[in-house]
Amino acid sequence: RWGRGSGWPRSGGIRGGAAMDLFGDLRRMNKRQLYYQVLNFAMIVSSALMIWKGLIVVTGSESPIVVVLSGSMEPAFHRGDLLFLTNFHDDPIRAGEIVVFKVEGRDIPIVHRVIKVHEKGNGNIKFLTKGDNNEVDDRGLYKEGQNWLEKKDVVGRARGFLPYVGMVTIIMNDYPKFKYALLAVMGAYVLLKRES
């Protein structure tokens, strides 16, 4: 026998599976409830996008939060650390700063330390980077014929970090099926969650 409204057997029964429960919940919802849940889900997604766009404006960086994907900056940062970036164009780039930069021909930005700064008389600044855990500078990573980075290459400068919080992102990139399953579960939870 089933308990009233609980969806669980009162005694000795076995639950029929998560997928069956999901479809059962969807069937029991009337149209108004379903529209309400879809609207809730849309509001959560749009709120997240607005927060992200707000962070871009406040920090001046096109990617205000990034995940460290390699061990090239150990011991300063480890794989999976979450970095918070700013990119105010008035701030001069200094040797010793940790910057995130993009290189033409590479999709993923790189997090490394500025080791040399070369300032020309006209105010143009060029600089060289290197990973703390690497033996050589980054000239081998730059596009062919490029020996220095410029301010236009900088995505942001590291201002703070949370250790290992970004491991979830790395796992989702390494195992795409896990990512889609997690997104499906989160979407189903938001759609099926009822106000109490």
| Positions marked active-site | 72, 112, 138
25 CB neighbour count, 10 Å cutoff? 15
Measured at the CA of 54, the angle between CA 52 and CA 58, to 5 degrees, comes to 120
83 CB neighbour count, 10 Å cutoff? 23
Amino acid in position 136: V
Reference 146, options 90, 101, 97; nearest CA is: 101
Report the distance separating Cα 97 and Cα 7, nearest Å: 57
Reference 164, options 88, 80, 83; nearest CA is: 80
Contacts of 33-39 with C-beta under 8 Å, sequence gap 24+, read 33/194, 34/191, 37/190, 37/191, 37/192, 37/193, 38/191
